[in-house]
Amino acid sequence: MTDPIALSADDQTVQAHLASLGLALEQATRTAKVAAMRRAIAEQFPEARLASFEEVVTYPTSTVRLVEVLGRAGAVIASEPDLDNEDDFTFASDDEADEALDKSVVVGGRAWTLDLLAPPTGDDFTGVQQFVRALGAQESAALLAALQETSGE
């Protein structure tokens, strides 16, 4: 019996590197999205304290979507608010939502909240800047060199 085909170690290293860059980009996107969401909710509901999210079961995967905005006294200010673009206020999976929001177990399932009064993170930087900040020094230098070569700068 022959050995199974496998990618070379060098190629596996390249793939691992690309995967880590993708992860850094996903983290930057989550941070940028939460900051954008926080700004959008505060703009429309200045008295808002908490945004509440619930799991929406879809096929083939479930999503986590904004369902309520609560005020400082805990009362619901907006229930299932109209969303201009549902994707903006939706996280793709439990894992993604868990990374971006606070998860709690409630009767009958799970819920996620976003504390709108918590000190904001990432608001001082654009998403691309956050991506660059998430890269190591060597990765940044290598990406800069590749972009300079491609763009002719």
Q: Looking at beta carbons only, is 103 or 143 nearer to other proteins?
A: 143
Its sign, for the CA torsion 119, 114, 129, 46, is negative
Residue with tokens 């999503």: 63
Angle formed by the axes of helices 127-134 and 9-44, nearest 10°: 140
Assess contact for 113 and 52: CB atoms under 8 A.
yes
Which 52-81 positions form the footprint of other proteins (CB under 8 A)?
60-61, 66, 78, 81
Q: How far is the CB of 50 from other proteins (least distance, A)?
A: 15
Question: What are the phi and psi torsion angles at 80 (to 5°)?
Answer: 45, 60
Give min distance, CB of 127 to other proteins, in A: 4
Q: How far is the CB of 8 from other proteins (least distance, A)?
A: 6
Least separation in angstroms between residue 53's CB and other proteins is: 13
Give the span between the Cα atoms of 124 and 130, in whole angstroms: 9
Residue numbers at the binding site for other proteins (CB under 8 A): 2, 4-8, 10-12, 14-15, 17-19, 21-22, 25-26, 28-29, 32-33, 35-37, 39-41, 43-44, 60-61, 66, 78, 81-85, 88-89, 126-129, 131-133, 139-151, 153
